[in-house]
Structure 1
């Protein structure tokens, strides 16, 4: 018995809830479908399907087998695509999800060389600061910043960026430059929802936690940028988010002798799926781009 063929047949039976529906999907006769399932159950020594008023439904063992079989078929399909890609180059769409501001500043302006290297490849980039459901949204790979909470995903850290306390020269001219982390309690902080209002600093063996106050709290990095660049307060941020302004001098770092936890960047793939050749190539390019 061809095991992959049997798995594919079983998957189609579960998804169509009938032998006849699977037969139509596979464009084969219904007896062939029934025979394949019977042989599969005999091989495994398990009943995989039950008849009910809704048609055929998987048993508990059948549901587990369905999930593993689906994964095996996906990986086999990806292995074939990877082999073809090795000979013909990357092609087709790649759906990527990433944070809005980070991608706008550090990724999008530098993608042309990658696209030039792979003229048959297209990028569908979903800009979203939230951790969206990758399977539901059809995402091939996501770039996520900070700590990861979803243990069902496959992730690899690909870059790290320092975080600093940042503000404009005009803000510091009006409110003064903080000399110690404790001074921040007297400043206007632009609070990013993901960062919170408690900031952790370290210098050597000394660790300090500071509760900051601010009249502006936003849930997106674009809002932090707008408020800080409008001289409304200082913020703690990865330097990726303000790279152009730091380079031009429009923004200043303060408390540079103190260290803040760095910002990690992760390549995240949907749980249980093999990363495609396209996704791996894209992540390798991003990793090289950020290390330059």
Structure 2
């Protein structure tokens, strides 16, 4: 039995809570994971896991072993990278969770550069606008925008972007261009269900909040983009979400004299799990991408 591989398998089982989830992450069959854990318990002559209908939890000895094994694996990975040098490529599999539209527009087009720099690394990208359970899904890093609801998550802000009220020229020609936040009451708003329908603005130190309404509510950013481009109303969104259209004039900003709170892009790492070198390197890659992007034109 390979001691390092057995430790890595056990760590993944504890972090995911099941043999099947660990097997998916390790890209092996569930029987292989079960056999490895059984051999590890036999070798150590202790019970490491409590098996119940609710899943797998470590015993007291298992928890202690997990913490030491996790630290040992992390230190071994770091030692290997240090020995290979800063320019060494990564290897294995990296699982990334990201919002669909953001990944499609800003991350995936740049992935060839990252993969070329690390030819022995495979990348799985899970596209979902909702925050998924990173541990259960075996995710190494999640890219999320806005406020983070999980206070236990390990997160680092890697970029900050602007937010604007946006519309198409065709919609504004039909409905008129609002001159103040109060005018939004007379407009059809496209509501994104993952953000409140109360929009808050500031101008010259004064703050105002308005409640908007509309007949269409969407649960994903791709739906928001499609509805806006179909001239169905106006909406509030990050400039990142409509970067190409803001450049070519298909989408324009309104109420530009009023400011909206900026939005943060976060690299989120699974709580209670070691932060891998692969995840850190990918976070730095995305940070470099967003830092090098010129802001879309501010002219409507």
Identify whether the pair has TM-score above 0.5, normalized to the shorter chain.
yes
Q: Which runs of 5+ in 2 are unaligned?
A: 20-34, 51-56, 293-300
Separation (CA, whole Å) in 1 of partners of 2:49 and 2:83: 39
8 Å contact from structure 1 (residues 78, 274) kept in 2: no
Aligned to 1:33: 44
* Native 8 Å contact 2:71 2:274 kept in 1: no
Cα distance in 1 for partners of 2:49, 2:108 equals 51
1:69 aligns with 2:80: no
Shift of 1:253: 0.2
Gapped runs of 5+ residues in structure 1? 38-47, 52-56
User: Structure 2 matches for 1:175-186, cutoff 5 A?
Assistant: 175-186=175-186
State the 1:23 CA deviation: 9.3
Structure 1 residue 196: Cα displacement: 2.0
Distance 1:79 1:234, change over 3 A: same
Deviation string, structure 1 residues 226-276 (Cα, Å, up to 9, x no partner): 111000000000011101110001111011111111111000111123322
Structure 1 position 124, deviation (Å): 1.1
Counterpart of 1:202 in structure 2 is: 202
The separation in 2 between residues aligned to 1:85 and 1:220, in whole angstroms, is 42
Cα shift readout 1:165-193 (whole Å, capped 9, x = no counterpart): 00000000000000000100110000001
CA distance in 1, matches of 2:227, 2:250: 14
Structure-1 separation of matches of 2:231 and 2:108: 27
Which has the higher Rg, Structure 1 or Structure 2?
A: 1
Whether contact under 8 Å (2:78, 2:277) holds in the other structure is no
Deviation at 1:105, TM superposition (A): 0.8
For the pair 1:270 / 2:287, whether they are aligned, the reply is: no
Report how far residue 125 of structure 1 moved.
0.9
Calculate the TM-score normalised by the size of structure 2: 0.77
CA contact (8 A) 1:82 1:276 kept: no
Q: Evaluate the alpha carbon distance shift between residue 49 and residue 127 of structure 1 in structure 2; reply closer, same or farther with a 3 A threshold.
A: closer
Alignment-derived partner of residue 149 in structure 1: 149
Task: Please state how far the C-alpha of 1:80 moved relative to its aligned partner.
Answer: 4.5
- SS in structure 2 opposite 1:137? coil
